[in-house]
Structure 1
Amino acid sequence: MIRLLLSLPLALLLLTAPARAAEDASFAVEAGTYRAHVPASWDGSTPLPLLIFFHGFGQTGEVVMGNTELMTLADEEGVLVIAPDGQEKRWAHQGAPLRERLRDDDAFVRSILADAKQRWPVDPARIWASGFSIGGSMTWHQACFQGDLFTAFLPVAGAFWRPHPESCPSGPVTLMHVHGTGDTVVPMQGRPIREVYHQGDVLKGMAFWRAQNGCPADPAEVTETGDLRCEIWRGCTSGRELQLCLHPGGHIIPMDHMARAIAWAQSQTGSR
């Protein structure tokens, strides 16, 4: 059975402070702040893989740091985790509500990466982006518009908003997306928000990424692990790999998937 992270409302009640406060720290850059968790096993010199994790709506980087399962996984895998703080606890991703009043989050991400590389020996071949809900949408946005900053994308329960991009400046990407088919907060087919904004369709978004990557319509392989079913596209003209992993649950992060996703990102090193 897949272990699940708490859904958003309960998470906001229970994950109000970082569980590893003594090891986690907050840093400021010109446009905002971010939190960082250095793996407990790090020897102080070995290059570190970096995972930037974008929080969900109404959350902060502190909530991400409070996810003890994610922090434990980071310790086990030796991954530096950075959790940026969204302005007004949201992200200015493509199609986002009230995006025009928010800061330039693309510039914010660039400044975080530059700052992190000055503080820690970040491995340039292992820089990954992930996020939950609108943090997942922010991950898709980064893949489309700043894909050259990262080597793999691991979004959860959040994809493009409408109108979908017609093309992406970054070109092909290495991406594994996970979503619950029972998700009603960010449904697979998307939904309108106040009849003004619209969450996008996950399957249409994946079809877009297949076109960007030069992948065939049908996956090369389908795997099933517990409740998680993954369609895998290999043999794309870009040389990149795409995965769509679905589970029957709702708006949650399946934590067993995060372990699988990080292992997969590690395996994709050098595929750029």
Structure 2
Amino acid sequence: MARWRRGIPVFLLCVALAGCAAPVKADSLAGQGISIETRTLPAGHLSRTYLAVRPEKAHSGLPLLVVLHGRGVDVRNGAVQTGFLGYAEQGLADIVYPAGIGQSWNAGSGCCGIAARQRVDDTSFIAAVVADAAHAFTSDPRRVYLVGYSNGGRLAFHLACVSPGLFAAFATYGAAPPAPCTNPAAKGLSALVAAGTGDRVLGHGAQVAEHASATWRTLDACPPASSSRRVSPAVVTTWTGCAGGSAVQSLVYSGVTHAWPAGATGLMWTFLSGQVRRTAA
């Protein structure tokens, strides 16, 4: 397996605001105790790739974490932005980073970028990534987690609705659902929705988080009672006792913009890693 090395170029900043991720400056993806390979999959008439990261002392049965980058971000910089690599370094997870066409995802409702214009089938691609990685790494099929940022978060909402059997839980930051989800098959899928109140790309972050979390609370038949706590600058609200042992959580970051917030990674991992899908797809 190849290793990440120093000298990864900084990505070209996306000039259109809608659906774009905030910039990141990354000159190193070096990590201790991880191995990485680029895997290639046929996807329709296209050849698609994803980065697969796993602990050097690999063993079967780890959770599989799928992380979707934002628009205008290459896959390596997306890995730096979201900060989940440490969980592979600690031997806690296998992680995959699919690469969007033109650094974008076709997330439905005309969004976003080249992928949407070319009507790329990203739904089938992500399903193929999950199947390929889970087989190659013998990951735990009951603990497949999905994270999406910005345009990648929009696709995560779509995937959670149309392909809920792939995942035990999903989390998003800086994204709104492309459409309300009414798929009864999504019942029991745990969800975390995070947004910043100062996000000018997303708009009214608190309202987006509330609307999206309300949709999933309805789908998961959550009781109305919730618990809240502050993990500065975020307000963390959690609904438990939902269908099939699922849970819903919202993170609202006061004054935070579209940029991935410090601390979100740990909160997301804590939530996701506590969820188990009872029946493998």
TM-score, normalised with respect to structure 1: 0.82
Matched, 1:47 2:61: yes
Aligned-residue offset at 1:87 = 1.3
Equivalent residue for 1:179, pick from 179, 190, 195: 195
Q: What is the distance in 2 between the residues matched to 1:23 and 1:238?
A: 35
Q: What is the distance in 2 between the residues matched to 1:154 and 1:92?
A: 18
Of 68-77 and 48-57, more deviation after overlay is shown by 68-77
Deviations 1:214-267 (A, max 9, x none): 124x44211112211111112334531100111111112224221122122222
Match of residue 197 from structure 1: none
Aligned-residue offset at 1:107 = 0.8
The residue type equivalent to 2:78 in the other structure is V
Of 56-65 and 25-34, more deviation after overlay is shown by 56-65
Q: What is the distance in 2 between the residues matched to 1:8 and 1:204?
A: 21
Q: What is the distance in 2 between the residues matched to 1:237 and 1:122?
A: 25
Deviations 1:63-105 (A, max 9, x none): 2234484312432252111110111211111324363622211
Judged with a 3 Å threshold, the aligned counterparts in structure 2 of structure 1 residues 189 and 230 are, in CA distance, closer, same or farther, namely: closer
Q: Which has the higher contact order (CA 8 A, sep 6+)?
A: 1
Match of residue 147 from structure 1: 164
TM-score, normalised with respect to structure 2: 0.79
Provide the identity percentage.
Answer: 23
Aligned-residue offset at 1:16 = 6.5
Aligned-residue offset at 1:38 = 1.2
Equivalent position SS for 1:38: strand
Match of residue 203 from structure 1: 210
Matched, 1:85 2:91: no
Of 228-237 and 29-38, more deviation after overlay is shown by 228-237
Paired residues for 1:108-147 under 5 Å: 108-147=125-164
The unaligned stretches of length 5 or more in structure 2 are 1-19
Q: What is the distance in 1 between the residues matched to 2:278 and 2:250?
A: 18
Answer yes or no: is the 8 Å Cα contact 1:52–1:83 preserved in 2: yes
The unaligned stretches of length 5 or more in structure 1 are 1-6, 191-199
Q: What is the distance in 2 between the residues matched to 1:260 and 1:68?
A: 12
Q: What is the distance in 2 between the residues matched to 1:180 and 1:219?
A: 23
Answer yes or no: is the 8 Å Cα contact 2:187–2:243 preserved in 1: no
The residue type equivalent to 1:230 in the other structure is V
Equivalent position SS for 2:153: helix
Matched, 1:227 2:241: no
Judged with a 3 Å threshold, the aligned counterparts in structure 2 of structure 1 residues 238 and 125 are, in CA distance, closer, same or farther, namely: closer
Of 134-143 and 233-242, more deviation after overlay is shown by 233-242
Judged with a 3 Å threshold, the aligned counterparts in structure 2 of structure 1 residues 96 and 55 are, in CA distance, closer, same or farther, namely: farther
The residue type equivalent to 1:34 in the other structure is Y
Equivalent residue for 2:175, pick from 158, 171, 181: 158
Matched, 1:26 2:38: yes
Aligned-residue offset at 1:113 = 1.3
Match of residue 250 from structure 1: 257
Answer yes or no: is the 8 Å Cα contact 1:19–1:65 preserved in 2: no
Of 118-127 and 59-68, more deviation after overlay is shown by 59-68
Matched, 1:15 2:15: no
